[in-house]
Structure 1
């Protein structure tokens, strides 16, 4: 349940067998019982067809909030809901449950704090808020011998200079204690969380967020796009006051901040060749995890991609680099496993004689391509002045299941720059087209989709996946918020995006463009009658003389 930051996810493996009516009764009892915390989701795994039909009917007669929490999913889709480190091995995860050890851990926790008179009669709240068990996130083994107590003494130790607490990045709204249970990116040594850039990584003791868990502390409502926000009129007045030079100085202040996370997985020797650029790596804490296809090689879950929040939607986007020939299969595996319906490409394959992105999809109508274990067919291609739309069919050759994917390529956006002429209207039209395609694809899914009303993540990439990609997402978040609330916060949005995808918004001109494009959107939709910015570039002209 989203209002409970410490909510539980209840997984029922359907192979055990029980009826739809019994299932709903059991889930209702679990939700209403609220022990030890309210349920966030109930996942029914690998349900047969005879179960799904009555289940869809019966769920219409339960409360809406309960209905939104109960989902039927296949085993590969579990990664979109639960960290794979927390899934049992029989469901494709890495957890080897030890129930006896967990009960012993709870007993020790309870006993220790009865002695310290800290329980105050609320065991659940204490366990969630003050006791943090050390977790080996790669194998799921809980080491209950060592207690980690978030007392004032421990907090003081964490605040020492050599302890960098990555799980609490700036600009994250939620301060709920459960975020620290799994959300660290460093090593747990001596009660400290150490973060470094060493190349050799112990994958057993270093934690990472998996699919669907890039923003573990935020609810959809908290992903509002920055801070308090300002109206279109206030934004116009501020830009007149700052001028281009002031905005550039504001951006340079943001860019000067060090990264808010680590890049251990991206730096593993077996993953280095999967990065298009050696200096554009993906954060550990928000990276997208693929299914591990080789049991002996844990790095087969790696792709240079990060979740980024949208407007009131956690993990609304997947920011990634332009696929390399060796990562074509990984890219389409990510699209398949994350249930993505739309891919946005803001680069050409070749720009100024340099390859910026591989041709990872068949470009011509009727063309086919195979990137095992997936095959692609391009059903149709629509060519416009500013963009090219390809209607793809993605097929998993293992199951012979297919899914339609909308692919939109914006072709008039230069690398390290802004759209031609600096005019935002073509980009804003393209943005609306992407949203319309997502809504259409989502409507076609019908009851098959039980997640957020805006659908699964939209994949966005350019070449490196930070400049044009970050600009596109910032525009989507800010325009969505302006439409819904009448306010927006460009700077706060950029800061949030950069906290999840390092170095997003690559150039000062892109930061300036986000502001100017938002003003243009405000005029187009009646929030402003006009946006006169005479003198905005005067400082630049003076410097050029």
Structure 2
């Protein structure tokens, strides 16, 4: 009953906001605007009427200033501009459901066209793409492909106009701007261009190499020229735009209102089922989505199913069978559905999170203060935490492992039962054009606190994968490597010696040379300062390598392989964690303008032997500690669940799960969030079968 009341209260809020928006526009003499168009602007500003009006005014001013009010798409010069294919909307979506727009720089010649014509070509297509409620809800990813482009293809002023329009003069949520294969001469103007972008949006603008693009957009959603799996059919898309434009004009003559809000089926909505997105790869499938009235079938081609649900706790997606429901994200409130036919329904949606939203709380809940955590541990004690972990561990994986199981990739896995998910795997550059499996490494991206893809979890490199490991480090821009295993443990090889162990020593793996400038050994860890050189270009980068040497396999620092006080030796781990953070900050500062990605820097590579037990424990503690510092609360369970949804089986043993809780309490005491953390009796009734 309470849920229904809250839902109808939110529904009433949206109806009132729409009515207020339309009334205020009418009072300002803005003319007749459809309800659907009003919702479009309100959606872009989370139903804040004041901000939606400001967006409307800026949008209208931009259109008048740039001559975007009257289009002649079937006449030269706009017709010729559209046919170049320099700008197009892909018939696919990213993992969060966002539409994907691509601007191909090497097809643009500033001397042969005007800003007005190019902008008209962009807006003409964006207007059609934004007719989809799914696109309005999930937003837009803008890819600026600079592959094989020259300085004569670049137009700084035009780029500034497009970015300025998208960030504040167009009713679409700009999720990301991905600049692919930016040449060296682009760096100076790009630094200037970033100054025109708000700080929050600046974190969504990334310069990436072609292999790194897969970290932002699934390979299955990309065209072949960007390392994807399907051919771009720009001609079919233009035909759809033409039909949509003509229908819109005809409807406006009948209704007297130009309604830009006709539901589009060109880009199929992503409909998650139990957290898994299924990509249609059969052109003759009954599930293929028809393109308007043309009879052409569109489909999302690509890899086998992958998950986009960052939280396995959320399974209700609020989709009503036959009704074509689309979710409206209201920002800080629960999601609701708006249906093109059928009934309104309440539901819960788990879209992929943005960089800003990638907090542990986004995956696990409100979190606990240290005092609340201490009180809970006193109540449930060790046995309660072990039972909690057993429940998490009993859940089946939330993704597939098709790439890891390919015959040519099996030998690249250290353990046959520790494979990496398809949906979050790190894609390397393809070194052999005839062998697509050369992009494989047993490694997954994992989100951190308010940072998407903050870490790369990987296995301890094998001699045959040393070159792949350093290729990954180089291509991802990594400046910090965290190693939580020794090379040999209990007489068994746990990891290959992929880096030079002594100061002054040098190794070469494929086109990469690794030099150890300095090696400092401490009681619990060894710090190596490495110089990584890409031999083909002679480019050099410094890499900090931290190896924690007193962490037993299947166990916790100081706790052995099972039993014991799992938090007894947390202090050295916490010190090591602080060293890692400072190294990341220094490495980011050294990169300077060469790094244009997230403000917290490139992904930190973390590995043990399998890349799941000690690695997952370190990630959990680091993420929870970061959230505790920022919010005064953390959620260990939610963080573990989130990590396991991106790197299968992370946190391998119950003692590691217990250690995360106890170490976080110790961190809280050290940093003044708690005066003390007395857990007398915590180990009473210890389950002797807890491994």
Q: Same fold (TM over 0.5)?
A: yes
What is the aligned counterpart of 1:170 among 301, 312, 315? Answer: 312
Q: CA deviation at 1:45?
A: 3.6
Q: Deviations over 1:213-244 (max 9, x none)?
A: xx971112332212111111111111111111
Q: Which residue of 2 aligns with 1:257?
A: 395
Who is 1:23 aligned against? Answer: 159
For the 8 Å contact 2:516–2:528, the answer to whether it is kept is yes
Q: Do structure 1's residue 291 and structure 2's residue 433 form an aligned pair?
A: no
Match of 1:267 in 2: 405
1:423 to 569, 593, 606: 569
**Map of 1:155 onto structure 2:** none
Residue 38 of structure 1 corresponds to which residue in structure 2? 174
**CA deviation vs aligned residue, 1:17-71 (integer Å, no higher than 9, x gap):** 124334323432454453766362151643342x433442454355445655545
Alpha-carbon distance in 1 for matches of 2:373, 2:528? 37
Judged with a 3 Å threshold, the aligned counterparts in structure 2 of structure 1 residues 249 and 80 are, in CA distance, closer, same or farther, namely: closer
How far apart are the structure 2 equivalents of 1:144 and 1:99? 22
Question: How many residues are matched?
Answer: 488
| Structure 2 equivalent of residue 508 of structure 1 | 654
Q: Cα distance, 1:123 vs. partner?
A: 3.4
State the partner residue of 2:503: 365
Map residues 130-279 of structure 1 onto 2, 5 A cutoff. 130=269, 147-148=288-289, 166-168=307-309, 170-171=312-313, 217-225=352-360, 226-279=364-417
1:290-309 equivalences under 5 Å are: 290-309=428-447
Please state whether the residue corresponding to 1:266 is helix, strand or coil.
coil
Q: SS at 1:538's partner residue? A: coil
- Native 8 Å contact 2:507 2:515 kept in 1: yes
Cα shift readout 1:292-317 (whole Å, capped 9, x = no counterpart) = 11111111111111111111111111
1:403 shift after superposition: 1.0
Partner of 2:483: 345
Q: How does 1:369-384 map to 2 (within 5 A)?
A: 369-384=507-522
The yes-or-no answer on 1:485 pairing with 2:599 is no
Normalised to the residue count of structure 2, the TM-score between the two structures is 0.64
**Aligned equivalents of 2:180, 2:316: Cα separation in 1:** 29
CA distance in 2, matches of 1:334, 1:230: 36
CA distance in 2, matches of 1:541, 1:250: 13
- Report which stretch shifted further, 254-263 or 100-109: 100-109
**Equivalent residues of 1:30, 1:39 under 8 A apart:** no
Question: What CA deviation, in whole Å up to 9, does each residue of 1:346-398 have, x standing for no partner?
Answer: 00000010000000011111111110021111111111111001111111122
Q: In structure 2, what is the Cα distance between the partners aligned to 1:267 and 1:73?
A: 28
Q: Which has the larger radius of gyration?
A: 2
Q: Which has the higher contact order (CA 8 A, sep 6+)?
A: 1
SS of aligned partner of 1:390:
strand
**Partner of 1:34: helix, strand, or coil?**
coil
CA distance in 1: counterparts of 2:246 and 2:658, whole angstroms: 57
Would you say the 8 A contact 1:76–1:291 is kept in 2? yes
Matched, 1:468 2:646: no
2: CA distance, partners of 1:434 / 1:412: 16
Gaps of 5+ in 1: 150-162, 181-214
| Equivalent residue in structure 1 for 2:474, among 336, 344, 353 | 336
Matches of 1:174 and 1:436, distance apart in 2:
40
User: In the alignment, which residue of structure 2 is the partner of 1:536?
Assistant: 682
SS class of match (2:617): helix
| Residues in 1 aligned to 2:526 and 2:666: alpha-carbon distance in whole angstroms | 23
After alignment, is 392-401 or 125-134 more displaced? Answer: 125-134
Q: Is the 8 A contact 1:378 1:392 kept in 2?
A: yes
Change (3 A) 1:29 1:367: same
Q: Structure 1 residues 37 and 419, CA, compared in 2 at 3 Å: closer, same or farther?
A: closer
**For 1:542 and 1:457, how far apart are their aligned partners in 2?**
39
Tell me the equivalent position of 2:548.
Answer: 410
The CA distance in 2 between the partners of 1:94 and 1:126, in whole Å, is 21
Deviates more, 1:479-488 or 1:92-101: 92-101
Find the aligned partners of 1:112 and 1:518 in 2 and give their Cα distance: 60
Structure 1 SS opposite 2:591: helix
Compare 58-67 and 430-439 and name the one that shifted more.
58-67
Residues 204 and 355 of structure 2 are in contact (CA less than 8 Å); yes or no, is this contact kept in structure 1? Answer: no
8 Å contact from structure 1 (residues 368, 377) kept in 2: yes
CA offsets per residue over residues 90-148 of structure 1, 9 Å max, x none?
Answer: 55554432211334566789999999xxxx962367766848899678xxx98899643
The CA deviation at 1:449 is 1.5
Question: Offset of 1:524 from its aligned partner?
Answer: 0.6
2: CA distance between counterparts of 1:404 and 1:124?
51
Larger mean CA deviation between 67-76 and 401-410 belongs to 67-76
| Distance across 1 between alignment mates of 2:159 and 2:532 | 33
- Per-residue deviation, 1:529: 0.8
Alignment-derived partner of residue 144 in structure 2: 11
**8 Å contact 2:514–2:531 — kept in the other structure?**
yes
Per the TM alignment, residue 8 of structure 1 is displaced from its structure 2 partner at its CA by 1.8
Q: Could you tell me which residue of structure 2 aligns to residue 314 of structure 1?
A: 452
Equivalent residue of 1:500, what SS?
coil
Q: How does 1:44-55 map to 2 (within 5 A)?
A: 45-49=181-185, 51-55=186-190
